Structure 1
Amino acid sequence: MGHSEENSDVAARQKAIDDWLPVTGSRNAKWWSSAFHNLTAMVGAGVLSLPFAMSNMGWGPGATVLILSWVITLYTLWQMVEMHEMVPGKRFDRYHELGQHAFGDKLGLWIVVPQQVVVEVGTCIVYMVTGGKSLKKVHDTLCPDCKDIKTSYWIVIFASVNIVLAQCPNLNSISAISFVAAAMSLIYSTIAWGASINKGIEANVDYGSRATSSADAVFNFFSALGDVAFAYAGHNVVLEIQATMPSSEDTPSKKPMWRGVILAYIGVAFCYLPVAFIGYYMFGNSVDDNILITLERPAWLIAAANLFVFVHVVGGYQVFAMPVFDMIETYMVTKLNFPPSTALRVTTRTIYVALTMLIGICIPFFGSLLGFLGGFAFAPTSYFLPCIIWLKLKKPKKFGLSWTINWICIILGVMLMIVSPIGALRNIILSAKNYEFFS
């Protein structure tokens, strides 16, 4: 008698915690909300740096890397969606739970959590800076004669919007924010390539290497690979997004999830490829590392595009912050025995947003650092960690199709993980003399 009562108490407490946590709190999401979340997580403001990445790789290698990345990351995303419910009656609601299932409780946490934290917190900090800079650009474009306002103040404005939105209890409750953000990413990508066509090809456009030496060319190429890896980094939140889907024996959550992913990936191709190819085609190697900077005219359109970037980055911040909130709140409730409450949520989330804001203000050149960190964390979580888990759990036949494809992805992913931080580190060193803290 005593045991079953204890068990039901434990189960009831666990259910109360699950219902309160942001990832598992609400499981009635529709397939299209997975499309918005995935699109918002995937299409970061990174899309605007793709023409620049192309100019560092050239036509052939650039097109190959972009399309190959699209294919590989779609494949690894499919694997993660499939593995979400590979154990009957159990759902891996979080990336690290899948890692723990594959590598054991201790090791699984150590493999997945640090990388996931680097990606998610790193993205939040970069979005702080991007959001602040986009707002500043709107102000400067519309009012060139106004008094110059420091980027730091714009970052504070961005942060205050996010402190309010961060109080949305779970992933499902930010579907509307995600929808708006996903729409914005499609709109500003279209503005970027549409305005490029409108501006026409530069008079003496040059597709040659912008590098002055062969060493330069190699390092620029490495760094461009890092930019591309950063552009395809939605995998860190994919299981968490799938956790919001209902699931039954007839319709497992992978069905609606996969429909959403396909739609999101069509959106990704629609954003990335035209921007990368048309932007590079029009400006050659004179393109800036943000295509919106290369397009100065018409002023109202560029201001609008920057405003859309701002709105999109707000949504992206929320999608990436949710799993972090989930980790912090799980820890507070299960390990430190805080009762699940609104006060706890408001406190932890406000502190988190404030911390990412402070780091963003102190280190406004965090983008270059992300290329460095991104190589270590983005490449594994998106390109090859899912493949390793798949090989370990599904044990496909040696030298069979699945086995071979996974090993190819792992080898390419590991190479990416090694070379992209090298390129980024060199960029950091070269531009370090211009860096100013608290700029």
Structure 2
Amino acid sequence: MWRGVTISYALKAMCFLPLAIAGFWAYGNKIPSSYGGLLTSFSQFNGRKNTSKAVLGLLCILVVINCLSTFQIYSMVVFDNLEFKYTSKKNKPCARWLRIAFRIFFGGLAFFISVAFPFLPSLAPLIGGMTLPLAYAYPCFMWITMKKPEPKSTMWFVNIGLGFLGLSLSVVLVIASVWNLADKGLHANFFRP
């Protein structure tokens, strides 16, 4: 698995660095931070008629390779969980064909959800704000609970401070995303990507 992560990150770097350098060299600060980034901006600035098919194809291939590598990295937790459930239930190692089947199943499920709910990117800040404490606050409080440092010591203050900073960032992000949804609205369209 470590080899897969290393290869995925190397592929992401090979896709992102040329794209970022060429995109900034060509467009500078004109690229909007909206959904789509360089891929959307490329067709807006150049138009379909002025762009060669080879350049547009290369750009799309780099984006597809990046997305596939990213999917492999961030879905690794799900794959591990599925394999762990299987091995703990059957008391035998997971076969190679079954690992491939797990990956195909989860990939198909993720694809179905993305097609069924194409408005999920507008809900991403809200979902991310609600889950932010899992990464930034809870580990600090868990460290205090498990290690039991001396109260009011330096490490105790650092972890309490970082934990409350993570919680406050989560609250601010949730408020901002709710404000943004109330301001722009949510256009929920099912199966219409």
Does residue 344 (structure 1) correspond to residue 93 (structure 2)? The answer is no
Query: Which of 147, 152, 163 is the aligned partner of 1:410?
Result: 163
Deviations 1:263-286 (A, max 9, x none): xxxxxxxxxxxxxxxx4xx57xxx
Query: Which of 42, 45, 49 is the aligned partner of 1:297?
Result: 45
Deviation at 1:304, TM superposition (A): 4.7
Label 1:174 to 1:408 Cα distance change in 2 as closer, same or farther (>3 A).
closer
Please say if residues 181 and 314 of structure 1, whose CA atoms lie closer than 8 Å, have aligned partners that are also in contact: no
Aligned-partner Cα distance in 2 for 1:422–1:303: 40
Aligned-partner Cα distance in 1 for 2:155–2:56: 46
Equivalent residues, number: 182
Aligned-partner Cα distance in 1 for 2:149–2:60: 47
Give matches, 1:185-204, under 5 Å.
Answer: 185-197=16-28
Label 1:194 to 1:388 Cα distance change in 2 as closer, same or farther (>3 A).
farther
Deviation at 1:380, TM superposition (A): 1.9
Q: Secondary structure at the residue paired with 1:432?
A: coil
Deviations 1:13-66 (A, max 9, x none): xxxxxxxxxxxxxxxxxxxxxxxxxxxxxxxxxxxxxxxxxxxxxxxxxxxxxx
Label 1:343 to 1:306 Cα distance change in 2 as closer, same or farther (>3 A).
closer
TM-score, normalising length: structure 1 = 0.37
Paired residue type of 1:353: G
Paired residue type of 1:432: L
Deviations 1:156-200 (A, max 9, x none): xxxxxxxxxxxxxx3424532321112322333333433333xxx
Give matches, 1:115-264, under 5 Å.
Answer: 170-197=1-28
Deviations 1:273-315 (A, max 9, x none): xxxxxx4xx57xxx45144234533546676555433322211
Deviation at 1:417, TM superposition (A): 1.8
Aligned-partner Cα distance in 2 for 1:383–1:366: 23
Paired residue type of 2:189: E
Q: Secondary structure at the residue paired with 1:348?
A: helix
Unaligned segments of structure 2, at least 5 residues? none
Aligned-partner Cα distance in 1 for 2:136–2:7: 29
Please say if residues 388 and 410 of structure 1, whose CA atoms lie closer than 8 Å, have aligned partners that are also in contact: yes
Aligned-partner Cα distance in 1 for 2:97–2:9: 25
Aligned-partner Cα distance in 2 for 1:418–1:358: 31
Q: Secondary structure at the residue paired with 1:340?
A: coil
Deviation at 1:412, TM superposition (A): 1.6
Match of 1:316 in 2: 70
Label 1:404 to 1:312 Cα distance change in 2 as closer, same or farther (>3 A).
same
Does residue 387 (structure 1) correspond to residue 140 (structure 2)? The answer is yes
Deviation at 1:353, TM superposition (A): 0.9
Paired residue type of 2:45: R
Q: Secondary structure at the residue paired with 1:374?
A: helix
Label 1:304 to 1:343 Cα distance change in 2 as closer, same or farther (>3 A).
closer
By relative contact order (CA 8 Å, sep 6+), the higher-ranking structure is 1
Deviation at 1:339, TM superposition (A): 5.3
Paired residue type of 2:84: T
TM-score, normalising length: structure 2 = 0.76
Label 1:405 to 1:190 Cα distance change in 2 as closer, same or farther (>3 A).
farther
Aligned-partner Cα distance in 2 for 1:406–1:303: 49
Please say if residues 140 and 163 of structure 2, whose CA atoms lie closer than 8 Å, have aligned partners that are also in contact: yes
% same residue: 24
Match of 1:354 in 2: 108
Query: Which of 339, 352, 367 is the aligned partner of 2:121?
Result: 367
